[in-house]
A and B are shown apart, each in its own frame.
Chain A
Amino acid sequence: GAVVSQHPSWVICKSGTSVKIECRSLDFQATTMFWYRQFPKQSLMLMATSNEGSKATYEQGVEKDKFLINHASLTLSTLTVTSAHPEDSSFYICSANSPKAGDGTEAFFGQGTRLTVV
């Protein structure tokens, strides 16, 4: 399968600060990447679609000014949680579809980033 790498795997930050999470496709180019969030004992919820060279598309209820997404290259998307608050503490995961794997319809996920805001 394809490889999607996320960094950092965990981060603790103070309330009011910003945190940047990187998502890289290591062995393929991804014009589109996806960001999900998972709260404890809940399902993964799609937050936004990251589009290379254009604005991200956010799901209903997700604040675009709080969760800034930049997809500056075909292998890198970043999610910045601005002015983080304790309620933003969650597990953030990115994914991408690789044309190299199968028929390109399987989404491959990064390892996830555990964000804790104190």
Chain B
Amino acid sequence: DQQVKQNSPSLSVQEGRISILNCDYTNSMFDYFLWYKKYPAEGPTFLISISSIKDKNEDGRFTVFLNKSAKHLSLHIVPSQPGDSAVYFCAASASGGTSYGKLTFGQGTILTVHP
């Protein structure tokens, strides 16, 4: 049972335009969400996170939006740069006594930014 889903396996964007990566979840217990960037044969690199008490968090070119009622979140990258090309993973965790570090990941979306 895939509790975190990234339905788009890949996304191709022109440099300078906006990249929008989507993520859906089914577990209502999730209350913290994170986005990671990953290159092959490397560990994930943390990008940005959002708590369920917020609906938006912004950090530089990265903004994450959370729609709790729809159980949907998205990562916006603007402007997109060729160096952003990587696999992006959405991850979620539930508090309630367990550690935030216990993450459930989506399948990942391959982002390609063309010059």
Enumerate chain A interface residues (CB-CB to B < 8 A): 1, 4, 6, 9-10, 32-34, 42-46, 49, 91, 93, 95-97, 102, 104-112, 114
Q: Which residues of A contact B99 (CB under 8 A)?
A: 32, 34, 49, 97
- The main secondary structure of chain A at its interface with chain B is strand
Q: Are A107 and B46 in contact (CB under 8 A)?
A: yes
Q: Does B49 contact A (CB under 8 A)?
A: yes
Contact A44 B45, CB 8 Å, known A32-B101, A106-B34, A107-B34? no
A62 CB, nearest partner CB in chain B, Å: 13
Q: Range of interface residues on chain B?
A: 20 to 34
A106 CB, nearest partner CB in chain B, Å: 5
Q: Which residues of B contact A4 (CB under 8 A)?
A: 43
Given contacts A32-B101, A105-B93, 17 further A-B contacts (CB under 8 A): A4-B43, A9-B41, A34-B101, A43-B89, A43-B106, A43-B108, A44-B44, A46-B103, A46-B104, A49-B99, A49-B101, A105-B32, A106-B49, A107-B34, A107-B103, A109-B36, A111-B42
28 contacts between A and B (CB under 8 A): A1-B46, A6-B43, A32-B101, A34-B103, A43-B89, A43-B106, A44-B44, A44-B105, A46-B102, A46-B103, A49-B99, A49-B102, A91-B41, A93-B43, A93-B44, A97-B101, A105-B51, A105-B93, A106-B46, A106-B100, A107-B46, A107-B91, A107-B100, A109-B46, A111-B42, A112-B41, A112-B42, A112-B43
- Chain B 24-56 against A: per-residue CB contact (8 Å), 1 yes, 0 no? 000000001010100001111110010100000
Q: Which residues of A contact B89 (CB under 8 A)?
A: 43-44
Q: Are A97 and B43 in contact (CB under 8 A)?
A: no
Inter-chain CA distance A110–B89, complex, in Å, is 16
Q: Which residues of B contact A108 (CB under 8 A)?
A: 46
Inter-chain CA distance A4–B101, complex, in Å, is 13
Residue of B nearest to A104 (CB): B100
A46 CB, nearest partner CB in chain B, Å: 6
